[in-house]
Amino acid sequence: MELRKNYFADVRKDDLHEIGQPRPRSDSPGHVTGKTAYFADRNFPGMLHLKMVRSPHHHARIRSIDTSEAEKHPGVVKVLTAKDVPHNVYTILILIQIGPEDETVLADGKVRWKGEAVVAVLAETERAAQEAAAKVKVDYEVLPAVFDMEEALKPGAPLVNEYHGQNYYLYDSGECRKVRFGDVEAGFAGADHILEQSYQSSPIEHAPTETTGCVVAPEGNDRFTCYTNTQAMFFTLDNTSIILQMPGSKLHFVGGTVGGGFGGKVDVIVEPIAILGAKLTGRPVSFIYSREEEMQISSPRAAEKVVIKDGVMTDGRIVARKVTGYTDAGAYSRHSPYGAQKGAGHYPGPYTIPNVWIDTYCVYTNRTPSSAMRGFGVTIGDFALEVQMDKLARLIGMDPLEFRFINAYRDGDMKAHRQPTEGAALIECMQEASRAANWPVAEKFMAMSSYKKGA
C-alpha cells in the first residue's frame, strides 16, 4: 500500500510508525489451526436445547396458548411463555433513552410479524425440542396486515404496533427527522433544470456463516455465564439485565469471536430467553438459530424508499435538494429509528448545496423487524444519491466526475446541518480515483484542494 504523504503536508504530523506497516492479527493462529473457540464450541453436560414456536401469521391476535401436549412430550423440561419473562416488553435503544419499549421477548396477546417468537421449548435434545414445539397449540385471530410503507402511512391503515399508536416513529422533531437549510423552493425556482427521481431497495439479509446463538451455563449462586456471538456485548448485557430484572453483576458474558456479523448480531434476541431458561431449569441451555431461522427471522437491512428532487444549474452547481426518505422498520423499532435519522444527516451527500430540505420517516409494517447492517440508513441513501448525481450530470451534459468536483464540500463550507466542514479530503480522493481509474478530468480540478488556505 502506498502512503501518499504529499497531501496536507503542511497541516499534518509526519511521525506515523504504525500506518503502512503490516502487523499480524492476534487471532489468526487460532483461526488457521481450528482452535479459536466460537460460542457453539462449548458443550456442557446436561445441556438443554431451546426451540422457538413462531407465528405463522403476519398479524394476529392470540386468543389462547395451549402448551399441555408439548409439556408431556418425552425429553421436554420446560416451556416458557410471555408470563415467565420478568420484563417482557423492551426496546434495545432504551439504554440511550430512546423509547418507547415496543417489542415483546415472547408474544403477549398479539403477533406483529410472521416468525415472531411466541413460546420457547427447552428439551434434552434438539429433536425433542423441535417435536414438542410442533405440539404447542396457539389459537390466532388473523388481523389485516400492512406490508407497504406508503400504505402503512395512509389514514385507516391497520395499526402495527400499539406501543407507538401510529405507524411511524415519533421523534422529538415530530413524525419524521427534518433538515431545513436555506430556501429550497427559491432554489428550485432559480434552477436551470429540475430532476425528481425515486429509488427503493429490498431488505437484505446478512447471511453470516455462523448463525446467531448463545450457550448459557448456570454458575450457581444465581449467576450465569453466557457464551454468545453478539456484536454488541454491553447492549446485550444491559438489556438482558433489564429484561430479566437481574443485576448485571449476576451475568457474565463471554464473546469476542463472531463468525460473521455485518450488523446482524447487534440485536438482543437469543441471550435473555436462553438465560431465563437456564435460570428456571438450573441447567445449561443452547439456543442456536437454524440456517432457516437465520435467513427468515434475523433482522435484515431495512427496505428503503428515497425520493430525491434536485435543482441544478447548467454550469454544474446543485442549488437545491429536497429528499423524502422512508425506512421500513418492520414491526418493531430495534435500531431503525436511528437508521432513519442517519439518513436525514446523510442525504445532502458530501456536497455543498445552499438549499436543502429533508424528511426521513421510520415506518412500521407487519414485516420482519429490520435493524443494523453495514452503514444502515446511509448505504441505500448513498446508492440513491450517487445514481442521482450521474443522472444530473447526464442531464446537463457534463462529465460525472467533474460534476462531483464542482459540488464536493471543502473545508469551511457550511453543511446543511449548520456544521462547518472540517478535515475534508474528498477532492484529493477523487483526484486519486481519477488517476487510478484512468478517468481524466480537466486540469483545474486536478489543481483543486479540499484544504482551503485561510478557511
Partner 1 sequence: MAKVPVQFTLNGSEKAEFIDSGTTLLNALRDKIGDTSPKGGCHQGTCGACSVIIDGELRLSCLTLAETCNGTTITTTSGLSESGVLHPLQRAFLDTFATQCGFCTPGMIMAAKVLLDHTPNPSRDEVVEALSGNICRCTGYEPIIQAVLTAARANSQNAA
Q: Which of residues 227-286 bind partner 1 (CB under 8 A)?
A: 257-262
CB of 433 to partner 1, least distance (A): 20
CB of 128 to partner 1, least distance (A): 11
Count Cα atoms within 13 angstroms, Cβ side, for 370. 31
Q: Looking at 5, 20, 30, 439, which residue binds partner 1 (CB under 8 A)?
A: 30
Is 374 among the residues that bind partner 1 (CB under 8 A)?
no
Helix, strand and coil content of the chain, in percent to the nearest 5, comes to 25, 25, 45
* 53 closest CA partner among 140, 126, 137, 161: 137
Cα 13 to Cα 234: distance, rounded to the nearest angstrom:
35
Is 420 among the residues that bind partner 1 (CB under 8 A)?
no
Choice between 6 and 43, CB closer to partner 1: 43
β-pairing, 137-142 vs 60-66, is antiparallel
Stretch that binds partner 1, among 3-11, 24-32, 339-347, 388-396 (CB under 8 A): 24-32
Is 178 among the residues that bind partner 1 (CB under 8 A)?
no
CB of 35 to partner 1, least distance (A): 7
Is 20 among the residues that bind partner 1 (CB under 8 A)?
no
β-pairing, 177-181 vs 356-364, is antiparallel
Inter-residue contact 275 to 357 (CB < 8 Å)? no
Q: Taking the CB of residue 453, how many other CB atoms lie within 10 A of it?
A: 8
CB of 254 to partner 1, least distance (A): 15
Choice between 11 and 37, CB closer to partner 1: 37
Choice between 291 and 435, CB closer to partner 1: 291
Q: Please give the full DSSP string across 104-148, using - where no structure is assigned.
A: ESS--SEE-STT-EEEEEEESSHHHHHHHHTT-EEEEEE------
* 168 closest CA partner among 349, 324, 301: 324
Is 36 among the residues that bind partner 1 (CB under 8 A)?
yes
Choice between 267 and 310, CB closer to partner 1: 267
Choice between 40 and 195, CB closer to partner 1: 40
Measure the CA dihedral 269/271/272/274, to 10°. 110
Count residues contacting partner 1 (CB under 8 A)?
Answer: 31
Is 209 among the residues that bind partner 1 (CB under 8 A)?
yes
Structure-block grid coordinates of residue 438: 484512468
Is 29 among the residues that bind partner 1 (CB under 8 A)?
yes
Q: Looking at 11, 12, 20, 41, which residue binds partner 1 (CB under 8 A)?
A: 41
Cα 228 to Cα 39: distance, rounded to the nearest angstrom:
5
Is 324 among the residues that bind partner 1 (CB under 8 A)?
no
CB of 256 to partner 1, least distance (A): 11
Choice between 200 and 290, CB closer to partner 1: 290
Is 44 among the residues that bind partner 1 (CB under 8 A)?
no
Is 74 among the residues that bind partner 1 (CB under 8 A)?
no
Q: Which of residues 187-206 bind partner 1 (CB under 8 A)?
A: 206
CB of 41 to partner 1, least distance (A): 4
Tell how far CA 167 is from the center of its chain.
Answer: 19
The residue with cell 437484505 is 204
Is 211 among the residues that bind partner 1 (CB under 8 A)?
yes
Q: Looking at 290, 296, 324, 449, which residue binds partner 1 (CB under 8 A)?
A: 290
Is 37 among the residues that bind partner 1 (CB under 8 A)?
yes
The residue with cell 442521482 is 388
β-pairing, 356-364 vs 318-330, is parallel
Cα 217 to Cα 220: distance, rounded to the nearest angstrom:
9
Is 210 among the residues that bind partner 1 (CB under 8 A)?
yes
Residues that bind partner 1 (CB under 8 A): 24-25, 27-38, 40-41, 43, 206-211, 257-262, 290-291
